[in-house]
Amino acid sequence: MKKVKTLFVLHEQFGHFTCCPGYTEVFKPFICSGYVGEFDVFVYQRPLRKMRGAAQFGPRRHAVMVLNKLKEQIGDEEVVIFCAGKHSEDFIEHLKKFNIVCFADENPRVVGTRFHGYDVVSVSDVPSSVKHLVISSFLHEKKIGPKLRRIFPDRNIYTLYDGFMSNHEQLKRVIKSFIGKELLNRVYGFRPELLVYTPTWAGENIPKQYFVKAKAINPDMKIFTIWWDFDDEGKVNSLLDLENDSTLFALEKASLEFADFIAENSNYTRLAKLYRREGIYRYYPNVERVYWWPTIFDPEYYQKLYLPKKYDIAIFGSPEGKRAKWIEFLSKEYGDRFHHFGTLQEREASLKNNWLPKEEYVKKINETKIFVNTQTLEWRVSFKGKVREALACGTFVLEEDNPETRAFVKEGTGVIYFNGEKDLKSKIDYYLSHDKEREEIAERGYRWFNDNFSHTKWVRFILEKLEIM
């Protein structure tokens, strides 16, 4: 078996890098496959974190400070919050201190829904009586601010990051230059056959130019990278934003220019549009380098343990967005028969003190009869990794119906799909009373997944496409 000399470039997204997706879903499958020989690991978040520490405080602290001052200034007067997305989710405790009339958003998937008990309206439907408009977005504040000032010249438009961004952008350029040069040093000294890069957050991705230079240093080196969640409608993609450029074309084509194999992990329908060069993808280069090849999880942990089933129904993960609503629904319907086992992310433990060590997390998946999985963000549908976690453990899955998961696994192969509360309750009641049928479906999914997506096969496919083997 050929052993590939590999440089892993991993982002330490939260906590220790061994808890992060780049480690559990990419690094460990590669290492366990037996195809990796000599290797080096560059965790590029670490120097970034040290440099940020020297900057006294980051964007979150700045935004909280601004919100507190705004509250003192506005008092109890009515406010509309713009953007019902992840940023508002993260800051909801601070935003709720205001007298919120509604949220407003341009995303059609969000308009008409409810966000933490408030209506989400379109920009054109913002009540004329409300004088104060607060923009709750870090990534899009610069674009949204001028637009709202044109639409609402007689209103007070408040931003959270104006006083922070100039220093932040300067610091970010210094950090990226430092990290990029370290990447080139690693490539020059180690001379890998394969560079595996796992980006996550837009503001912390390594700019494209350094990968281009790395290939110039080592022309025979292949580069593998991955696209995780993607906001197609909002045209925001932390995985492809490798240039920090304001133009959409530059944001999205960057990794296509230097990577030899890109694994699309969560959005098959987006990939189909990319292949058809539809809409914004019309001029994208090298689309043939992108494959629908969702990650698998650390095979040393995620496996069938053949434990007795202790829990009738469970949802795993932090109570975020839509998932929080499903947790509330199942708690009311099933009481003690339902369990919410939270997150692997230690930083989210405070949400409900439900952080689990990896060993305990996998154990509870194995001990669950019905693993319910749902979407989280109202405005994004994606193939969640939790489905693959459950399949690897041989656990029966009830999945909120969506085209992304269906593109990976057909119904009855470990997974049954549901639509809405009534359908979910009906299927839970049925499969709790039909143990044999439920376990047959779970076993079928377990065997299918391991026959087709073992860590060895997952890595071998990548290496074959890269023509390294």
* Region 352-362 average pLDDT: 76
Predicted TM-score (pTM) of the model is 0.77
Q: What is the pLDDT of residues 101-137, one digit of tens each?
A: 999 998 888 899 999 999 999 999 999 999 999 999 9
- pLDDT on residue 409: 97
Compute φ and ψ for 254, nearest 5 degrees: -55, -60
**The two structure tokens encoding residue 302:** 């995620």
Greater confidence, 133 or 86?
A: 133
Greater confidence, 238 or 37?
A: 37
CATH of 4-52+167-297+458-465, one of 3.90.220, 1.25.40, 3.30.310, 3.40.50: 3.40.50
Residue 245 has pLDDT above 80, yes or no: no
Quick one: 76 exposed, middle or buried, by C-beta within 10 A (0-12, 13-18, 19+)? Answer: exposed
Residue 452 has pLDDT above 90, yes or no: yes
Residue 237 has pLDDT above 80, yes or no: no
What are the distances in angstroms from CA 136 to CA 94, 201, 385?
11, 18, 28
Q: What is the DSSP letter of 231?
A: B
Q: Where are the domains of the chain?
A: 4-52+167-297+458-465, 59-163, 311-452
Q: What is the pLDDT of residues 318-350, one digit of tens each?
A: 887 889 899 999 999 999 999 999 765 544 444
Per-residue confidence band for 175, with pLDDT thresholds at 50, 70 and 90: low
User: Mean pLDDT across the chain, nearest whole number?
Assistant: 87
C-alpha closest to that of 206 among 185, 181, 237, 227: 181
- pLDDT on residue 46: 62
- pLDDT on residue 360: 92
Residue 248 has pLDDT above 60, yes or no: no
**CATH fold match for the domains 59-163 and 311-452:** yes
What is the CATH class of 311-452?
alpha beta
- pLDDT on residue 58: 67
Determine contact, residues 382/404, Cβ cutoff 8 Å: yes
Residue 309 has pLDDT above 80, yes or no: yes
- pLDDT on residue 138: 84
Task: Compute the distance between CA of residue 453 and CA of residue 263 in angstroms, rounded to an integer.
Answer: 14
Residue 310 has pLDDT above 60, yes or no: yes
Average the pLDDT over each of 36-40, 162-166, 325-329, 415-419 and give the range with the smallest value. 162-166
Residue 460 has pLDDT above 80, yes or no: yes
- pLDDT on residue 48: 57
Residue 19 has pLDDT above 90, yes or no: no
Q: What is the pLDDT of residues 178-200, one digit of tens each?
A: 888 999 999 999 999 999 999 87
CATH of domain 59-163: 3.40.50.720
Q: Which amino acid is at 95?
A: L
Note every long-range contact of 121-128, with CB atoms under 8 Å and residues 24 or more positions apart, other chains counting. Answer: 123/82, 123/148, 123/151, 126/80, 126/102, 126/152, 127/78, 127/80, 127/101, 127/102
Residue 285 has pLDDT above 60, yes or no: yes
Q: Among the ranges 98-102, 104-108, 143-147, which has the highest mean pLDDT value?
A: 98-102
- pLDDT on residue 249: 36
Task: Compute the distance between CA of residue 291 and CA of residue 269 in angstroms, rounded to an integer.
Answer: 12
- pLDDT on residue 56: 44
- pLDDT on residue 168: 56
Residue 391 has pLDDT above 50, yes or no: yes
Residue 246 has pLDDT above 80, yes or no: no
Q: What is the pLDDT of residues 42-67, one digit of tens each?
A: 998 665 555 554 444 567 888 899 99
Quick one: 53 exposed, middle or buried, by C-beta within 10 A (0-12, 13-18, 19+)? Answer: exposed
Per DSSP bridges, beta strands 78-82 and 99-104 are parallel
Give the DSSP H/E element, type plus range, for residue 371: strand 368-373
Average the pLDDT over each of 24-28, 138-142, 376-380 and give the range with the smallest value. 376-380
Greater confidence, 12 or 238?
A: 12
Q: What percent of the chain has pLDDT over 90?
A: 66
